[in-house]
Amino acid sequence: MQKRKFLQLIGSSAALLPLLGMNPQERERTSAKLLPNAIKAGDVVGLISPSAATSERIQLQFAIEALEALGFRVKQGDNLANRRGHLAGTDQERASDLNAMFADPEVKAVICIRGGSGAARILPLIDYDLIRKNPKPLLGYSDITALHHAIYAKTGLITFHGPNGTGSWNSFNVTQFNKLFFEREQILYENERVEEDDLVIKKNRIQTIYPGTASGELFGGNLTVLTALAGSPYIADFTDKILFLEDIGEEPYRIDRMMSTLMLMGALDKIKGFVFGQCTDCDPSSGYGNLTLDQIFDDYILPLKIPAYRGAMIGHIPRQFILPMGAQVTLDADQGTIQLEERVFH
């Protein structure tokens, strides 16, 4: 009897070893999914600049006016207009604005004014316990990918990959914002159909890489920023994710190198579905030769035999999807759609 109890004790201890062996950062990455609190017209939103500086004051005014037109009152971060080199202030100042907005009970959502470069520098300075205790929507894209991944990895909070404050607030983006944030609709993300004087529709066309449907948590963002987080504690596990990617100003050989990074770190073997949005200004320069994007995706994605398509309205384009990162979705690679399958607000 004593021997049986001893063996049971050993077994239960062994089961705990993986957790006991984790450092505190690794334990944080096991956080369950966390929904942000819902927002409504009339709420106060915090406007911050966690990455690059905004060069012209009129851009700050544009962002404030756009958010007010959406129905919000705007609270500016204390360091919103700061500048240090290309950055919007020191790392401590930019992190302080982010932490302050999550700590402020008056502020109901946090909007990033722009991307650029520099968000990764502040990741160790973010108060993730504070964010976990005050779950609010965070909106932005491009360099803000670093914040999306760090917050998701550390807290499980669903954040939103979509227009920055100085981005384009055209009718498509505004309608989608209202449906997602105010009406809390489970959106079907499908490219706009653009008909022109041509026998064949050419704009906003999707290309199926591998057919089929798959369900999983939506996960991704800017390819350059995402791969720069490889090996850090600020990126979550890729297992069973629907991976979406986009980029700008990267030649095909660089896209190839970054896809190679995802492959070598084992990320691509774990995902259940793949979506590539737009690669804006990614044409090859003159030289000996280049792989095409078609060839790159054929090399890295096609052998996985998972549902995959490219051409989604994701990326550095005026009319873009607002995607809840960490939410359960179903991807249809034949139709080129992403269906949101769960509520994303408390």
Helix (H) or strand (E) holding 25: helix 24-28
Count of CB atoms within 10 A of residue 121's CB? 16
Q: How far apart are CA 327 and CA 323, in angstroms?
A: 9
Burial 148-170 (b: 16+ CB within 10 A, else e): bbbbbbbbbbbbbbbbbbbbebe
Q: How far apart are CA 211 and CA 202, in angstroms?
A: 20
The residue annotated as part of the active site, out of 51, 142, 149, 250, is 142
Q: Which two three-digit tokens encode residue 267?
A: 């990320």
Distance of alpha carbon 63 from the chain centroid: 20
Q: How far apart are CA 310 and CA 340, in angstroms?
A: 18
Closest residue by Cα to residue 161 from 312, 1, 289, 10: 312
CB-side neighbour CA atoms (13 Å) of 78: 12
Active site residue 316: yes
The residue annotated as part of the active site, out of 93, 217, 246, 250, is 246
Burial 305-339 (b: 16+ CB within 10 A, else e): ebbbbbbbbbbbbebbbbbbbbbbbbbbbeebbbb
Helix (H) or strand (E) holding 340: strand 337-340
Catalytic machinery residues: 142, 246, 316
